[in-house]
Amino acid sequence: MMTDTIPGIHHVTSIASDPQANVDFYTEVLGLRLVKRTVNFDDKFTYHLYYGDETGTPGTILTFFPFVGATKGSVGAGQTTATAFVVPPDAIDYWLDRLDDLGVDRDDPEERFGETVLPFRDHDGQPLELVAGESPVEPWAEGPVPAEYAIRGFHGVTLHTTDPESTAAVLETMGFEREAADGDRVRYRASGDRASVVDLLAREGPRGRQGVGTVHHVAFRTPDDERQRAWRERLTDAGLSVTPVKDRQYFRSIYFREPGGVLFEIATDPPGFTRDEDAAELGSALKLPPWLEEEREMIAEQLPPISTPGETA
């Protein structure tokens, strides 16, 4: 059975605190679209919020489990330590002014592998980056950020692995190729046209602790169920413990923890976020999987109200 190669990142999922603060930051500060409001299928009284471009194209999707009152985590070894978005090459000055005007915690821009990188943190302290570069992704045009400066999906992620050699071997099994090295950072790139970069950090440091402000897992793309099954076989044959296929409604997923400590997922591109909402209505209503519909009223009562701009919570 053919596996091809992994073309890039499908989505990144993180842990947040207050869900309304989460919506406000990612729609009003970063200008992303809330493309789905549903619940954590393993914890039905917690939201699962998805942000991305107009339709949540694979390679643009940042998702959150917002746990009200949860303990703050710490970012460190064994984790994804930064999630990077692409912005147009001349957009960094705009974003410097925007982040400062909105009181966002940021660092000064730096150069990395010939690209300008602007590191900053969200309201929960999660490390994020804007990278000046090219992307085929069309931005969400109805947010507060002018389209000429808007985010165009992911650039990639940085993994602070506890076992760089073994993590690199897993990435190479998935089809990533070593591209360059700079100090303790090694860049791997997938074959796709977007969200294709994974940087590995090989450095000493304390282990990260999962909690608010940290990444839960990184999901990589595969185009269909057949190739996902092939990946499951191949990764299992490589000695990794891979879960059975799980139906996440908007994609199907398998999970495994790579030897360096980071939880990986391989998710199918289809069926996508328009399977239960029209494109124009994405993110406007609470959507539940069929097995939770009978509990809709009880679940909705347990969830804190949230609203996007123009809505009433």
Indicate the pairing of strand 9-16 with strand 61-66: parallel
For residue 262, the model assigns a pLDDT of 97
Q: Measure the CA–CA gap between 178 and 186, rounded to whole angstroms.
A: 7
Sheet holding 115-121, edge to edge: 110-112, 115-121, 127-132, 79-87, 154-160, 197-201, 185-189, 177-182
Structural contact between residues 91 and 132, judged by C-beta atoms closer than 8 angstroms: yes
Residues in the chain: 313
CA dist 228 → 112, 120, 224, 257 (Å): 33, 34, 6, 16
Which tens digits make up the pLDDT trace of 113-169? 999 999 999 999 999 999 999 999 999 999 999 999 999 999 999 999 999 999 999
How far is the C-alpha of 127 from the C-alpha of 106, rounded, in Å?
A: 9
Is the full-model pTM beyond 0.75? yes
* Burial class for 104, CB neighbours closer than 10 Å (0-12, 13-18, 19+): middle
Tokens of 129: 């980056």
The pLDDT mean for the chain works out to 96
CA distances from 284 to 35, 68, 116, 251 (A): 8, 21, 35, 20
| Cα–Cα distance for residue pair 51/35, rounded to 1 Å | 5
Bridge partners, 158 (sequence order): 82, 199
Torsion of CA 245, 12, 213, 155, to 10 degrees: 160
pLDDT digits (tens, 9 = 90+) for 53-112: 999 999 999 999 999 899 999 999 999 999 999 999 999 999 999 999 999 999 999 999
pLDDT tens-digit series, residues 212-221 = 999 999 999 9
Q: How far does the chain reach from its first CA to its final CA, in angstroms?
A: 49
pLDDT at residue 251 greater than cutoff 80: yes
CA 116/CA 311 separation, integer angstroms: 36
- Tens of pLDDT, residues 274-308: 999 999 999 999 999 999 999 999 999 999 999 98
